[in-house]
A and B are shown apart, each in its own frame.
Chain A
Amino acid sequence: MLDGYGPMLFKGLTATLGVAVGAYCIALVLGVLGATAKLEGGRVTKGVAEAYTFVIRGVPELILLLLVFFAIPTLIQSIVRSSSPEFVNFRLELEPFTSAVVALGFIYGASATEVFRGAIQAIPLGQLEAARAYGMYGRVLVVQVALPQLLRFALSGLSNLWLIVLKATALASVIQVVELMRVANLAAGATNKPFTFFLAAACIYLAISAVSLVCIKFIEVYSFRGTEQGAK
């Protein structure tokens, strides 16, 4: 039925998951950095973060992906090369997989920034004041009090972001990563059965989404324990 492209579809699936997880992690890191930059940064840092989310929100992912994929490595290369004579042959060696992960992570870091910013601002001030009154500062304050609450407020945004990143990996087919969409495209071209293969790919994406939703439900129940709402 799948003309022997089954194993390759499976490989595409693993690549999809790999890109999604990698990009999601990078997005989370950038999100935290961006949110803190926007809330507590100096004028310049704040400006950079604002410009970052401004641009990414306004430009389609397809165009962003192409620009980031080609422009960022060139930019970094020229910065490093001009910074010092010994780096004049500096090369950024990134294969398509890594490039896709970095590009998508960079793009969705902007959404993550907004999620974290909203979540940080949503933590009731009273909680932090009470913690400080009890003598909790710094790391203890963040880990014991702020972080669990942060997770609660950020959860819906972050779980939404995961589903979005998962689907965005299909764009990586445009920059030649052999993930699920690209495999379906190649197989469709080779066998002249586009409907079969794109349908198969769609079903696989659906399955991953379903599994993700179940996991998200579990995390939701866990993080909302002890609150009035209980499990949503």
Chain B
Amino acid sequence: MRIRLRYLFAIAAICVSLTAVQAQTNVRIATEGAYPPFNYVDAKGKLGGFDIDIASAICAVAKFNCTFVAQNWDGIVPGLNAEKYDLIFAAMTATIERRKVVAFSNKYASMPFRFVASNRVADAIAAAPGTGIDQLKTALKGKTIGLVTASTADPYVRKKFEGVSTLRSYQKMSDVLQDLKAGRIDAYADGALGIDATFLKTATGKGYRFAGAPLTDPAYFGTGVGAAARLKDTELLAKVNTALAQILADGTYQKIAKKYFDFDIYGQ
């Protein structure tokens, strides 16, 4: 019995064709699920958070049939381009670097970026000479900084602190915070809102605070948080923008935002 290659292909083709060929009104949305309060997985295993609620509101207005999937942060952009899903709603800042590989909707939130450290290290940073990023560089020279791979702060901190401090890459925010608590790293730079909600405002965050000036270089920190889509899906993004404008105008956005934030998350 000789197995011809064509039989193998035939079997493969049959298997492949048995999976669904679908129409365009289903929209799959990816989020990280590890960045409260924007997105998280609750104790029952369901995805929830600001991103989910805003995305659901947009889907309702744009009449999409939306499903949500969780995806590891460092695989979230490749997954979009590999067509595993169609949109990303994951507190993703629209940076210039990212715009080279994905397209962004209009912004639906603002995210400041800061370093967080223990009070001792934060005091050292405050006492260091200089201002802004230079003050941070002086104070953190020779120390260890933690980053989430592919986060917004990642390329900026890498550029500025390469050779100045030791840099460690982690999979997600909770991993870095655990190591910050354990003292393996001295400081962690990322979106301030996530760190604030899950760490600083909780008992585990006692003895830690934001340190140094906010990171605002526009070349790296972009124009706010937006939904990401593939570069060619301009029509999809246009629909998302229209729906976003509507929920901003009719008060749905404000209602959702109040659930999670006691300040104006949309910003300027």
Contact = CB atoms under 8 A, between A and B. Distances in A.
Interface of A: 4-5, 7-8, 11, 33, 36-37, 40-42, 44-45, 48, 66, 69-71, 73-74, 76-77, 80, 87, 89-96, 99, 174-176, 178, 186, 188-190, 192, 194
B41 A92 contact: no
Contacts, number: 97
Contacts of B130: none
B83 A189 contact: no
Nearest to B40: A190
Nearest to B23: A89
In the A-B complex, list the 10 residue pairs whose CB atoms are closest, starting with the nearest.
A189-B174, A70-B82, A93-B20, A74-B82, A41-B3, A44-B5, A192-B204, A176-B70, A45-B5, A45-B3
Contacts of B181: 192
Contact of B83 (A73, A176, A178): A73
A89 B24 CA distance: 9
A189 B1 contact: no
Interface in B79-95: 79, 82-84
B22 interface: yes
B82 A174 contact: no
B234 interface: no
Nearest to A15: B45
A5 B41 CA distance: 12
From B2, B44, B84, name the one whose CB has the most chain A CB atoms within 10 angstroms: B84
B78 interface: yes
Nearest to A46: B3
Contact of B34 (A40, A44, A189): A189
Nearest to B175: A189
B16 A178 contact: no
Interface in B26-82: 33-34, 41, 43-45, 69-72, 75, 78-79, 82
Interface in B169-210: 172-175, 177-178, 181, 204
Given A176-B33, A178-B70, A192-B204, 8 more contacts: A87-B21, A92-B16, A93-B19, A96-B69, A175-B75, A186-B33, A189-B177, A189-B178
Nearest to A174: B72
A186 B41 contact: yes
A66 B75 contact: yes
A80 B12 CA distance: 11
Contacts of A89: 21, 24
Contacts of B232: none
A69 B178 CA distance: 28
B2 A40 contact: yes
Given A74-B82, A91-B83, A192-B178, A80 B69 contact: no
